[in-house]
C-alpha cells in the first residue's frame, strides 16, 4: 500500500507518499480501505517531532479515517467486509489501508456521506469525553470554548447547545466569530483585541463560565481560572500556548473549582475511560444528534492526499473554519 512517510521531522514538505507493507488485522481488529483522512493538529506536532505515537502504535500520521472494511480479524463479530465506517486511531491514518481495533470503529451517521464522515471521530470523541464525561456539562450552564473556529471548537459549540448549555467562544477573526455565532455561540470574544475574561463576566452578570474547554494550556491558565464561576471546571485539551504555567491554588480553592487535563490518543483501547467506552458513548449520544442534523460536520476543505503538506499549512490559515480532510483515491 501507499502511505505518508516522514523523511525527517520538520516543515510540511518532509512528508512523502511512499510504499509500505499492507496491514494485517490482529485479533479483534479490522482493516479499512481508507476513503478520507481527518487532519489534526496532533499530526502537525508529530511531524515536527513533538508528539511521538503511543507505544505499539503506527509511526504513520493520522488519527481518524473513513472508508470501507476490507478484512476482519479473528474474534470480530460486530463488523463485516463491505461495511462503510469511520474510525478513531492511535496512528496510521495517512495511508490507503489501516488496521484498527474493532471497538474504535463507528458506523457512518445517517445523512453523512463517506467522505465527510472522516471529520467526525476525533472531534466527537474529544468533545464528548471532555465536556460530558470529565466536566459533566449540564443544561443551563455556561461553557467557554477556546478556538471556536477549529474542528474541535465547531463541533463542541453544536454539542453544547444541544445539551442545553449557553455557549461562549473565542476566535481570532471576525469571520470565525461569525461562524461560531451561526453554530450557536451567543457570547463571542476576539482573542486578538478583547479580554475574554471581561467579556464572560459582563455577559453572565459577573458569574463567569461553569466549564472552560481550553486548547492553549499555559498561556491561558491564569485567565481561565479568573473566568471560572464558583464550582467551575477547566479542562485542558491542548498546549498551543505552552505547557509550563503557574496555578494560584488559593484562588482555585476559594472558587471550589477544578482543573483537568486530557489526551485522547494515549488512552488505552479498553478498560475504564478507554477509547472503546468513549466510542460507544459517542455512537449512543452524539450520532443521533448528527442524524437529526442538530450537529453536523464542519469541513473547510477536502484535498487529495498528495497535497498533505498544503493541508497542514491550511490549519494555520486565519480563515480556516472547521476540519480539513485528505481524500484517498
What integer best gives the mean pLDDT of the chain?
95
Residue 295 predicted with pLDDT over 80: yes
Query: What span, in angstroms and rounded, lies between the C-alpha atoms of 172 and 191?
Result: 6
- Residue 221 is predicted with a pLDDT of 93
pLDDT over 70 percentage in the chain:
100
Give the mean pLDDT of 168-182: 97
- Residue 139 is predicted with a pLDDT of 98
Residue 262 predicted with pLDDT over 90: no
Contact 291, 110 (CB under 8 A): yes
CATH number, domain 124-261: 3.40.50.720
Q: What is the pLDDT of residues 208-237, one digit of tens each?
A: 999 999 998 889 999 999 999 999 999 999
Instruction: Tell me if 2-120+297-327 shares its fold with 124-261.
Output: no
pLDDT-derived band at 246, boundaries 50, 70, 90: confident
CA within 13 Å, CB half, 291 = 11
Residue 84 predicted with pLDDT over 80: yes
Helix (H, G, I), strand (E, B), or coil: what is residue 143? strand
pLDDT-derived band at 298, boundaries 50, 70, 90: very high
Query: What span, in angstroms and rounded, lies between the C-alpha atoms of 270 and 252?
Result: 33
Chain center to CA of 36: 16
Q: What is the pLDDT of residues 93-134, one digit of tens each?
A: 999 999 999 999 999 999 999 999 999 999 999 999 999 999
Q: Strand 64-72 vs strand 209-214: parallel, antiparallel, or unpaired?
A: unpaired
C-alpha cell at 249: 491554588
Handedness of CA 93, 99, 101, 104 (dihedral sign): positive
- Residue 101 is predicted with a pLDDT of 97
Q: What are the domain boundaries of the chain? A: 2-120+297-327, 124-261
pLDDT over 90 percentage in the chain:
88
- Cβ burial of 325 (10 Å; 0-12, 13-18, 19+) is buried
Q: What is the pTM of this model?
A: 0.95
Grid cell 496555578 — which residue? 247
Backbone angles phi and psi of 275, in degrees to 5: -65, -35
- Residue 81 is predicted with a pLDDT of 98
Q: What is the pLDDT of residues 130-166, one digit of tens each?
A: 999 999 999 999 999 999 999 999 999 999 999 999 9
Task: Report the 10 Å Cβ neighbour count for 293.
Answer: 11
- Residue 56 is predicted with a pLDDT of 87
The domain 2-120+297-327 having CATH identifier 3.40.640.10: the answer here is: no
pLDDT-derived band at 329, boundaries 50, 70, 90: confident
Query: What span, in angstroms and rounded, lies between the C-alpha atoms of 219 and 239?
Result: 9
Amino acid at each position: 500500500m501507499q502511505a505518508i512517510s516522514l523523511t525527517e521531522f520538520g516543515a510540511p514538505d518532509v512528508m512523502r507518499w511512499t510504499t509500505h507493507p499492507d496491514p494485517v488485522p490482529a485479533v479483534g481488529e479490522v482493516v479499512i480501505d481508507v476513503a478520507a483522512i481527518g487532519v489534526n493538529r496532533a499530526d502537525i506536532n508529530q511531524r515536527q517531532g513533538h508528539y511521538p505515537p503511543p507505544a505499539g502504535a503506527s509511526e504513520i500520521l493520522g488519527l481518524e479515517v473513513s472508508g470501507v472494511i476490507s478484512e476482519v480479524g479473528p474474534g470480530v463479530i460486530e463488523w463485516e467486509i463491505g461495511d462503510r465506517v469511520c474510525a478513531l486511531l492511535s496512528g496510521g491514518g495517512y495511508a490507503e489501508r489501516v488496521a484498527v481495533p474493532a471497538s474504535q470503529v463507528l458506523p457512518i451517521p445517517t445523512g453523512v456521506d463517506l467522505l465527510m464522515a472522516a471529520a467526525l471521530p476525533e472531534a466527537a470523541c474529544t468533545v464528548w469525553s471532555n465536556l460530558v464525561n470529565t466536566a459533566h456539562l449540564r443544561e443551563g450552564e455556561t461553557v467557554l470554548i477556546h478556538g471556536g473556529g477549529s474542528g474541535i471548537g465547531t463541533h463542541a459549540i453544536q454539542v453544547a447547545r444541544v445539551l442545553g448549555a449557553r455557549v461562549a467562544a473565542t476566535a481570532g477573526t471576525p469571520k470565525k466569530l461569525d461562524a461560531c455565532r451561526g453554530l450557536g455561540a451567543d457570547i463571542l470574544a476576539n482573542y486578538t483585541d478583547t479580554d475574554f475574561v471581561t467579556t464572560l463576566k459582563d455577559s453572565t452578570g459577573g458569574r463567569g463560565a461553569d466549564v472552560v474547554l481550553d486548547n492553549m494550556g499555559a498561556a491561558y491558565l491564569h485567565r481561565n481560572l479568573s473566568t471560572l464561576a464558583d464550582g467551575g471546571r477547566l479542562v485542558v485539551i491542548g498546549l498551543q500556548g505552552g505547557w509550563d504555567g503557574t496555578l494560584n491554588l488559593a484562588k482555585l480553592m476559594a472558587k471550589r473549582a477544578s482543573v483537568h487535563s486530557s489526551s485522547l490518543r494515549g488512552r488505552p483501547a479498553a478498560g475504564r475511560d478507554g477509547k472503546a467506552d468513549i466510542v460507544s458513548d459517542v455512537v449512543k449520544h452524539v450520532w443521533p444528534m448528527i442524524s437529526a442534523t442538530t450537529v453536523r460536520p464542519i469541513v473547510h476543505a477536502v484535498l487529495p492526499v498528495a497535497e498533505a503538506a498544503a493541508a497542514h499549512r491550511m490549519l494555520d490559515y486565519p480563515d480556516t473554519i472547521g476540519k480539513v480532510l485528505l481524500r484517498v483515491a
